[in-house]
């Protein structure tokens, strides 16, 4: 697996990183050990300025993440379940707050915690074999990693209620129609397509990309007038950066910019 991980693999190529949940024998189910490793990975990215985009996917051909590990959850006490949910929320928050975009490549089942993990990403590309769902009510519980909230923000409250209260999965075609995913790609083309998207993001101004991600997330939960002011301030601050000078000079000189993230 590399980098001291047992359940997660990390591959860095230039300015992009690919993180893979690597437990294919259990369809990449999220147990506590895997959540800890994912939190370590995303904590590492916070201080690695060389990384400018991240791809998140699952090992094998069947699953992105088929859910939280039911064999581990079944014996939890209420206090243990609370801590487990807190870990899932910590991971989702770490992905959302990361300065660089995280793109999910959903190659199969994204159920329960897997759907919630994808929802924390900035956007989602799906294999034509992918299925998304929040089936927790069939187990006597509810989504615990942010699904009751992020799903509604992504697809609207009516469709979110349908997915959560019925607990039935939807296929990639419906997920695209509902706005849950950005694009559906043939299974064999998914990872190269998403890695290409990540490289395209990484080629843009890193300070600008980070500011845009931050403002879009923060602005979603405040009044529009406040969000507009946040945007104006972030726009203006970037004019004090070396990257703004370089980006506009490169445009005028018809060459590729040499970003310094300063």
Q: For residues 21 and 7, is the Cβ–Cβ distance under 8 A? A: yes
Instruction: Return the closest-CA partner of residue 27 out of 54, 1, 71, 65.
Output: 65
pLDDT digits (tens, 9 = 90+) for 20-44: 999 999 999 999 999 999 999 999 9
Record the tokens describing residue 257, joined without a space. Answer: 């910019």
Q: Indicate left, alpha or beta for 112 from its phi (over 0: left) and psi (-120 to 50: alpha).
A: left
Residues in Cβ contact with 33 at an 8 Å cutoff, skipping those fewer than 6 apart = 6, 7
Record the tokens describing residue 147, joined without a space. Answer: 């699904």
Is 2's pLDDT higher than 60? no
pLDDT score of 260: 96
Computed over every residue of the chain, the mean pLDDT equals 97
**Domains (ranges, CATH) in the chain?**
8-202 (3.90.226.10), 206-253 (1.10.12)
Annotated active-site residue in 116, 189, 229, 246: 116
Concatenated DSSP letters of 11-59: EEETTEEEEEE--GGGTT-B-HHHHHHHHHHHHHHHT-TT--EEEEEES
- 156-165: b or e for each residue (b if 16 or more CB lie within 10 Å)? eeebbebbbe
User: What is the band of 1 on the pLDDT scale with cuts at 50, 70, 90?
Assistant: very low
Half-sphere exposure of 205 (CA within 13 A, CB side): 19
User: What is the band of 4 on the pLDDT scale with cuts at 50, 70, 90?
Assistant: confident
- The structure's pTM equals 0.95
CA distance 262 to 254: 21
Quote the distance between the C-alpha of residue 230 and its chain's center: 23
Confirm whether 61 is a catalytic residue: no
3-class DSSP assignment, residue 79: helix
Is 240's pLDDT higher than 70? yes
Helices first, then strands: H and E counts in the chain: 11, 10
Confirm whether 116 is a catalytic residue: yes
Per the DSSP assignment, residues forming a β-bridge with 51 are none
Annotated active-site residue in 61, 136, 189, 231: 136
pLDDT digits (tens, 9 = 90+) for 175-227: 999 999 999 999 999 999 999 999 999 999 999 999 999 999 999 999 999 99
Query: Which DSSP helix (H) or strand (E) runs through 110?
Result: strand 109-111
Q: Using DSSP bridges, classify how beta strands 63-65 and 183-185 pair: parallel, antiparallel or unpaired.
A: unpaired
């Amino acid at each position: 697996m590399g980098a001291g991980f047992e359940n997660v693999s990390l591959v860095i190529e230039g300015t992009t990183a690919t993180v893979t949940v690597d437990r294919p024998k259990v369809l990449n189910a999220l147990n506590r050990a895997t959540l800890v490793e994912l939190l370590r990975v995303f904590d590492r990215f916070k201080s690695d300025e060389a990384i400018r985009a991240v791809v998140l996917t699952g090992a094998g051909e069947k699953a992105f993440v088929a859910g939280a590990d039911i064999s581990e959850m079944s014996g939890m006490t209420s206090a243990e379940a609370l801590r487990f949910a807190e870990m899932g929320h910590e991971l989702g928050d770490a992905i959302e707050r990361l300065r660089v975009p995280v793109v999910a490549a959903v190659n199969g089942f994204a159920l329960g915690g897997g759907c919630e993990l994808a929802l924390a990403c900035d956007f989602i590309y799906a294999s034509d074999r992918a299925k998304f769902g929040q089936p927790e009510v069939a187990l006597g519980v509810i989504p615990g990693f942010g699904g009751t909230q992020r799903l509604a923000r992504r697809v609207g409250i009516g469709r979110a209620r349908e997915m959560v209260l019925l607990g039935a999965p939807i296929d990639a075609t419906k997920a695209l129609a509902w706005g849950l995913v950005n694009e559906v790609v043939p299974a064999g083309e998914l990872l190269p397509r998403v890695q290409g998207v990540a490289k395209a993001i990484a080629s843009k101004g890193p300070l600008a990309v980070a500011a845009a991600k931050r403002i879009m997330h923060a602005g979603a939960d405040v009044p529009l007038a406040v969000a507009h002011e946040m945007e104006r301030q972030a726009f203006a601050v970037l004019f004090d950066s070396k990257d703004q000078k370089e980006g506009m000079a490169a445009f005028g000189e018809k060459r590729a910019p040499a970003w310094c993230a300063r």
